[in-house]
C-alpha cells in the first residue's frame, strides 16, 4: 500500500482548498473568493484501494505582508515547508498575471528537494488566460497537470500520478470524525463560521475578524448548543457585523447553523455574538 504526505503550495486563491475539499468529498478547509481565507496549514486524509495520502493545504503566500496577520500566515506556510513531505503540488492560476507574489512562491518551491508537480488550476475559466506567462515552468517542472479543482476535471490522472510517486508505507488509522487530522472540533466549528464572514461581508471586515467557540454542549431533544463569539478589531466593524437591528449577525448565524448541521448531521442551536478585541491578532498561532 502506498502512503505519504503531499503538500500544496501557491498564491492566495489559486484553489488549493477547493481541490482538497472536492477530492476528499467533504469540507475540510474553508473557501471564499477573497484572499487570506486559509490562515493555517490543514492536514486532510484521503484513502482508496491504492493507499493513503495526507494532503497539507497551506495558506496562500503573500508578496507584501503589511499587517501582523499576513506575516503570521506567511510564517505558517514557511513552517509547513520544513515538515517531512513526499511530493509537492505547486498550483498556479492561469487567469491571473504572474507577478512578484508568484515569484516568491516559486522561490520557496525551488528550495524543496522533493518531486514537484506543476498544477494549472481553473481550466473551467477560459475567458481570460495568462497561461503563456507560465509556460517557462514546464522546463523546470516537466510534469504539468491542467485541472479544474471546482469541477474535478482531470483530477483522476493527477491522483494516479501521486500514488505512483508515493513510497510504500505503513497504514494510517482513518480519522473517526471528519477528515482533518490536525484541528480539533472547536477549531473546525470556528472555521465554518469564519467562512460565512468572508462570504457575506466586504471591505476589511473578514481580515479583522476571528471566531472563538466558548461552549459545545449536548442538550435535551438531541440539540447541540454552541456558544460562539466573533472577535473584531474595531467598534465600527462590530456595528457592521451586527447590522441594523441585528440583521447581519442573524444572517451570519443562520448560514453558519445550517452549515454546521450539514457537516455534523446534528440539530444545532447557535448562540452567536460579536465583541471588539483589538489584540486578537497578537495571540493567533
Known binding-site residue numbers: 10-17, 57-61, 121-124
Instruction: Please state the three-class secondary structure of the chain as a single string.
Output: CEEEEEEEECCCCCCHHHHHHHHHCCCCCCCCCCCCCCCCCEEEEEEECCEEEEEEECCCCCCCCCCHHHHHHHHHHHHHHCCCCCEEEEEEECCCCCCHHHHHHHHHHHCCCCCEEEEEECCCCCCCCCHHHHCCHHHHCCCEEECECCCCECHHHHHHHHHHHCCECCCCCCCCCCCECCCCHHHHHHHHHHHHHHHHCCCCHHHHEEEEEEEEEECHHHEEEEEEEEEECCHHHHHHHHCHHHHHHHHHHHHHHHHHHHHHCCEEEEEEEEEECCCHHHHCC
Q: Give the residue numbers of the binding site for GTP.
A: 10-17, 57-61, 121-124
Amino acid at each position: 500500500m502506498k502512503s505519504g504526505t503531499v503538500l500544496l503550495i501557491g498564491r492566495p486563491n489559486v484553489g488549493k482548498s477547493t481541490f482538497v475539499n472536492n477530492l476528499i468529498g467533504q469540507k475540510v478547509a474553508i473557501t471564499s473568493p477573497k484572499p487570506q481565507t486559509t490562515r493555517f496549514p490543514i492536514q486532510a486524509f484521503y484513502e482508496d484501494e491504492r493507499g493513503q495520502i495526507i494532503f497539507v493545504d497551506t495558506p496562500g503566500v503573500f508578496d507584501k505582508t503589511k499587517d501582523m496577520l499576513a506575516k503570521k500566515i506567511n510564517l505558517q506556510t514557511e513552517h509547513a515547508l520544513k515538515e517531512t513531505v513526499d511530493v509537492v503540488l505547486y498550483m498556479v492560476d492561469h487567469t491571473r498575471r504572474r507577478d512578484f507574489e508568484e515569484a516568491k512562491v516559486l522561490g520557496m518551491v525551488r528550495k524543496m528537494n522533493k518531486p514537484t508537480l506543476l498544477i494549472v488550476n481553473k481550466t473551467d475559466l477560459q475567458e481570460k488566460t495568462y497561461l503563456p506567462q507560465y509556460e517557462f515552468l514546464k522546463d523546470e517542472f516537466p510534469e504539468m497537470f491542467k485541472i479544474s479543482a471546482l469541477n474535478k476535471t482531470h483530477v483522476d490522472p493527477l491522483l494516479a500520478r501521486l500514488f505512483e510517486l508515493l513510497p510504500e508505507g505503513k497504514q494510517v488509522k482513518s480519522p473517526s470524525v471528519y477528515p482533518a487530522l490536525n484541528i480539533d472540533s472547536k477549531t473546525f466549528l470556528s472555521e465554518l463560521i469564519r467562512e460565512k464572514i468572508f462570504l457575506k461581508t466586504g471591505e476589511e471586515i473578514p481580515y479583522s475578524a476571528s471566531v472563538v467557540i466558548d461552549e459545545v454542549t449536548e442538550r435535551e431533544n438531541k440539540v447541540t448548543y454552541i456558544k460562539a463569539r466573533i472577535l473584531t478589531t474595531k467598534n465600527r466593524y462590530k456595528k457592521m457585523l451586527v447590522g441594523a437591528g441585528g440583521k447581519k449577525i442573524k444572517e451570519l448565524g443562520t448560514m453558519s447553523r445550517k452549515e454546521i448541521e450539514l457537516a455534523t448531521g446534528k440539530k444545532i442551536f447557535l448562540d452567536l455574538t460579536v465583541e471588539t478585541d483589538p489584540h486578537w491578532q497578537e495571540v493567533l498561532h
